[in-house]
A and B are shown apart, each in its own frame.
Chain A
Amino acid sequence: MLLAVYVIQAWRSPWKDIAVILGCLSVVIVLSVMKNSGIARGLFFVFGIFFTINMLISGNSRPWLILYTTGLIVSYELVEYSLHHTVEVEDDQLHRVLMNTHARYLVVMTGSILGGSLGALWMFERVSIQPSENIYVNILLFCTLFFGILYALKYTTR
């Protein structure tokens, strides 16, 4: 369903060719998922690249871009989950429990990505952080900060 929404969204842009390509890709992805073929993952990646480029050149606003990217990530997880759904489960009750758990994880994941991204966007749009005039020094500092946070998350939150 998300793929259909994306195709419709692409159709509204001035470049109809990309919408046609995305439409074909989405059909192939759905068929691959139905046949439980791992090729769906690769095709979805191609679909994501085409769609994102289309949205970028269409001049969508940044919150919308973030929303679309989050949607793509969630769609990818759903595709992967569908591929894993062939795994046998002992009984119906366990199946229900697992479905609920997965749904909860997906909701939390979507909320986290959207909340974190929009929050960061909001912050970056209002607060200009430029420790240096040189862009490369800024990148270096940003990367250091990024890996610092990563390290902190990895080894302190356990």
Chain B
Amino acid sequence: MGPDMYTRKFLIVVGTLLTVFSIGIVFRSADILSLCLPLVCYFFLCMRGENPHTTISRNSVPSRGMAESLLPVSFWVHMEKPVDFMEVYDHMGGREQKVRFFLAPGQREIRFSYDLTLRRGTTHIGPTRVRQFNFLFTQYWEDELEENTTMVIPRIYPLKPLSLNPRFTKVFYGTLPSRKAGMGEEFFSLRDYMPGDEYRKINWKAFGRYGSLVTNEFEALKTTDVICILDARKETALGNEKDLLDYALDATASLSVAVLKGGNRVGFFAYGDQFYYLYPGTTRRHLFKILSILTDIQSGGYLSLNYVKNFISAFFSKRSQLILVSPLLDDSLLKAVQSLYVLGYDIFIVSPSPISVEWMHCDHDDYHQVARTILQKKRTRLFSQLNEYAVLVDWNVQEPLGKALSEVRLYHRIR
């Protein structure tokens, strides 16, 4: 409940009254003193007004939200004593909105509602300040409602189970083909029948051909350690409202969720001005840790993959599957990928295209067309070089990530 406050107008009225009164006294003029009479009456009218005893409430705001989703926000102002004029200052998502309006006589409650489009990071809703004036705008009462905060995680696209084909897998059963015989659905090889084999696994056609019982073997589906590596260097601050880093973060979050759904362990590593890492884990809590880092991360710095590869190999076991999310603007990237491949990592690169981001915000004239073509050729060349060591996904950010992932040719054998 705010205290009574007086406006500048009230102070001017008081000042004028005192000045006229003083002049009247100094000149001992009854005419000048008579001018004080209407001013005194006006002063008394200016004093009129009661504290409205305002209560401001806001609907409950979730502590977590997803980027680009709409958050309905509503708040209401209740006054025990009606006032004449109200100003509402509401901070939402870093911007202040001001609404001014007269209140109908006797109106005691007002509701406001709007939808806020969430942006990645910590979104502050409020504080909301309500200032109420009396009719003559000489007094006001101010009340404030504290802010609420919502942690906005990157957007998670629903993805189908990832089609990874790692060279090395763990012993636990999962969803990834392991290149070993075991429990699975895809035919793998034939072997001699051994007592205890299930009859339904006997290959009768092979029995007819060889004259001895032969059993079908299937490719075991196993899990692996997947390390999501995020490139958050300075170059990723490309774009306006949603920059290249935001797209990369969306991809990292979506891939982490998809990999975890397959029962794999997920580790995390990000580099830019500094590096962040999380050892592989499988739990929901672990996922929230990753999302929490992704929420706060900002683009900056010039650490190269070639430099941080030593840390990657120190933190994460060889034979892990690496998923590198990078726009591939790092000059030393090819060398780094080669080194990581040699160290025994399988590499899967998802590259949100910087060309598509820039294309969204530039003129589509001839000059830009030519520039785009040149850049695209340069990128294609880099892709063809990387293709020998990694599986590549060129993600045009104007299309869904799932579509880009579904077009991956996994069975192009790498070295």
Contacts and interface: CB of A to CB of B under 8 A. Distances in A.
B25 A139 contact: yes
- Main secondary structure, interface of B, reads helix
Contacts of A56: 31-32, 35
Contacts of A84: 85, 102, 137
A116 B37 contact: yes
Contact of A112 (B32, B41, B50, B105): B41
Contacts of B41: 112-113, 116-117
Q: Which of B12, B37, B47, B104 has the most CB of A within 10 A?
A: B37
A105 B37 CA distance: 20
Interface string A95-139: 001100100010001001110110011000000000000010001
A27 B203 CA distance: 105
B37 A121 contact: yes
B113 to A, nearest CB: 14
Interface stretch (A2-10, A16-24, A63-71): A63-71
Contacts of B44: 116, 150, 153
Interface string A43-57: 001000000100010
B100 A87 contact: yes
B32 A73 contact: no
Interface string B194-227: 0000000000000000000000000000000000
Contact of B45 (A88, A113, A120): A113
Interface string B155-169: 000000000000000
A153 B44 CA distance: 8
Nearest to A119: B37
- Main secondary structure, interface of A, reads helix
Interface in B77-92: 85
Given A56-B32, A98-B102, A154 B135 contact: no
Nearest to A49: B16
Contacts, number: 74
B30 A73 contact: no
Nearest to A67: B38
Contact of B34 (A62, A98, A135, A139): A62
Given A65-B31, A109-B45, A113-B42, A87 B37 contact: no
Interface residues of B, number: 27
B39 interface: yes
B303 interface: no
A116 B43 CA distance: 12
Interface in B15-43: 25, 28, 30-32, 34-35, 37-42
Interface in B274-329: none
B25 to A, nearest CB: 6
B47 A154 contact: yes
B47 A80 contact: no
B101 interface: yes
B34 A66 contact: yes
Nearest to A98: B102
B130 to A, nearest CB: 15
A115 to B, nearest CB: 8
Interface of A: 45, 52, 56, 62, 65-66, 69-70, 73, 77, 80, 84, 87-89, 94, 97-98, 101, 105, 109, 112-114, 116-117, 120-121, 135, 139, 146, 150, 153-154, 158
Closest 9 CB pairs of A and B: A117-B37, A116-B41, A62-B34, A113-B41, A117-B38, A69-B38, A70-B38, A113-B38, A120-B37
